[in-house]
C-alpha cells in the first residue's frame, strides 16, 4: 500500500494536485484526520509493509448517517476527488458514498485475499503468498525429517486464492478452499494412498474459511481416518507483514499512477486494476456485484503433481 500511496502523492503533485492523506481509513475521514502530503512525506516508504496512513474499520460509516456525514465533510473541506485503497469492504463503502457526494471516487484494490473483481492481482497478494511459501519451506524440513502430515492454515475467509497459489508453489498434496466442496473421506483416502506409494510426508494447505472448518476442525474430522495424526501450523498474520515483493511494489506503483490518470480523465465510480497485462478501470458496482473465480486450472493440477 505504501508504494501506491507514494505514487499517488508524487505523480499527483507533479501534475498540479494538492494531495491530502487521511489517517485511519473511513473513520479517519469522519474524524477529519487529514494531512497535506508533500513529496518528502512519502520518502523511504516504498519498501515498507502496511500503510503509513494507517487504517481501520468504521461502524459509524456503515450507517446512512455516517455516509452522509462523510460526504458533507468532503464537500466542506473542498475535496474534489478521493482515492480509496482497500478490498471488498472499501469498494462497498465507496459505492454508498457515491450516492451523497459529487466528487470523483477512484478505488484501488489492496487486499491479500485477491478476491476483488476487476483486476488479476490486488496489491499485497504476491507478498502474502511469498511470505507463506517461505514459512512452509521451513516447515518442510520438519515434515521430511519426521515423516509428518502437516495441515497448514493460510488466510482466506471467503477466498482460496492464497491457498491455491501457496499449495501449488509448495507441492501440497491437497488444497482445501471455500470455493470447492471438501470431502473429508476423499482427503483421507488421498493421504493414505500417498503413504502406500512411498510418500514420507505430506502437506495439506487449508484456507481458513473452508466450509468444513479451519485446520483444527479438519484435523479433528480426519482423526482415525489417516495412517497418522496431523500436525497443524497456522501461519496467521505473518502473511500480512514484511517487506513487499518486487511484483507488489511495481503493481502498486502502476495502479497508483493509473488512478491519477483516471482522475484527470474525469472518471469516477471506478476501480483501477490490471487485467491480462493491461491497465483497466472497472465500475465500482461490478467490483461488488461480480465474483472473482479461483484459478480452476491450477487446482486441476494438484492430483497429478502430488503422485
pLDDT band at 174 (very low <50, low <70, confident <90, very high): very high
Instruction: Give Rg (Cα) of the chain.
Output: 22
Cβ neighbours around 214 below 10 Å, total: 17
CA proximity to 170, closest of 147, 138, 217: 138
Res. 28: pLDDT tops 90: yes
- Range list of β-strands (E), 47-171: 81-86, 104-109, 149-154
126-241 folds as: Rossmann fold (3.40.50)
Give the DSSP H or E segment for 283: strand 278-283
Please give the grid coordinates belonging to residue 144: 521430511
pLDDT band at 280 (very low <50, low <70, confident <90, very high): very high
Query: Region 262-273: what's the mean pLDDT?
Result: 98
186 catalytic residue (yes or no): no
Under 8 Å CB-to-CB from 224, ≥6 apart: which residues? none
Res. 200: pLDDT tops 90: no
pLDDT band at 229 (very low <50, low <70, confident <90, very high): confident
Query: Region 241-258: what's the mean pLDDT?
Result: 97
Res. 2: pLDDT tops 90: yes
Domains 2-124+244-289 and 126-241 share a fold: yes
The single residue of 18, 113, 210, 295 carrying the catalytic annotation is 113
Q: Where are the domains of the chain?
A: 2-124+244-289, 126-241
How do residues 47-81 score in pLDDT, each as one tens digit?
999 999 999 899 999 999 999 999 999 999 999 99
pTM of the model: 0.95
pLDDT confidence of residue 227: 80
Options 3.10.129.10, 3.40.50.2300, 3.40.50.450, 1.10.10.10; which CATH number does 2-124+244-289 get?
3.40.50.450
What average pLDDT is seen over the chain? 96
Q: Which residues pair with 107 in a beta bridge?
A: 84, 271
Res. 145: pLDDT tops 90: no
Amino acid at each position: 500500500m505504501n508504494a501506491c500511496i507514494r505514487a499517488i502523492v508524487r505523480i499527483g503533485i507533479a501534475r498540479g494536485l494538492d494531495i491530502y492523506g487521511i489517517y485511519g481509513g473511513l473513520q479517519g475521514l469522519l474524524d477529519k484526520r487529514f494531512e497535506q502530503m508533500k513529496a518528502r512525506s512519502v520518502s523511504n516508504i516504498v519498501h515498507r509493509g502496511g500503510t503509513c496512513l494507517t487504517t481501520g474499520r468504521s461502524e459509524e460509516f456503515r450507517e446512512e448517517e455516517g455516509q452522509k456525514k462523510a460526504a458533507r465533510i468532503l464537500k466542506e473541506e473542498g475535496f474534489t476527488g478521493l482515492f480509496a485503497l482497500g478490498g471488498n469492504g472499501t469498494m462497498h463503502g465507496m459505492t454508498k458514498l457515491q450516492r451523497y457526494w459529487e466528487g470523483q471516487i477512484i478505488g484501488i484494490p489492496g487486499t491479500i485475499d485477491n478476491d476483488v473483481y476487476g483486476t488479476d492481482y490486488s496489491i499485497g497478494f504476491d507478498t502474502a503468498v511469498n511470505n507463506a511459501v517461505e514459512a512452509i519451506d521451513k516447515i518442510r524440513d520438519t515434515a521430511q525429517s519426521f515423516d509428518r502430515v502437516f495441515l497448514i492454515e493460510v488466510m482466506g475467509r471467503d477466498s482460496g486464492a492464497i491457498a491455491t497459489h501457496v499449495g501449488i508453489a509448495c507441492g501440497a498434496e491437497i488444497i482445501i478452499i471455500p470455493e470447492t466442496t471438501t470431502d473429508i473421506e476423499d482427503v483421507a483416502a488421498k493421504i493414505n494412498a500417498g503413504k502406500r506409494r512411498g510418500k514420507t510426508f505430506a502437506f495439506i494447505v487449508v484456507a481458513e474459511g473452508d466450509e468444513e472448518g479451519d485446520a483444527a476442525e479438519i484435523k479433528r474430522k480426519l482423526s482415525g481416518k489417516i495412517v497418522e495424526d496431523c500436525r497443524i501450523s497456522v501461519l496467521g498474520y505473518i502473511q500480512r507483514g514484511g517487506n513487499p515483493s518486487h511484483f507488489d511494489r511495481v503493481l502498486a506503483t502502476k495502479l497508483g499512477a493509473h488512478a491519477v490518470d483516471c482522475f484527470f480523465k474525469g472518471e469516477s465510480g471506478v476501480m483501477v486494476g490490471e487485467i491480462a497485462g493491461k491497465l483497466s478501470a472497472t465500475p465500482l458496482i461490478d467490483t461488488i456485484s461480480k465474483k472473482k473465480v479461483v484459478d480452476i486450472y491450477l487446482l486441476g493440477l494438484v492430483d497429478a503433481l502430488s503422485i
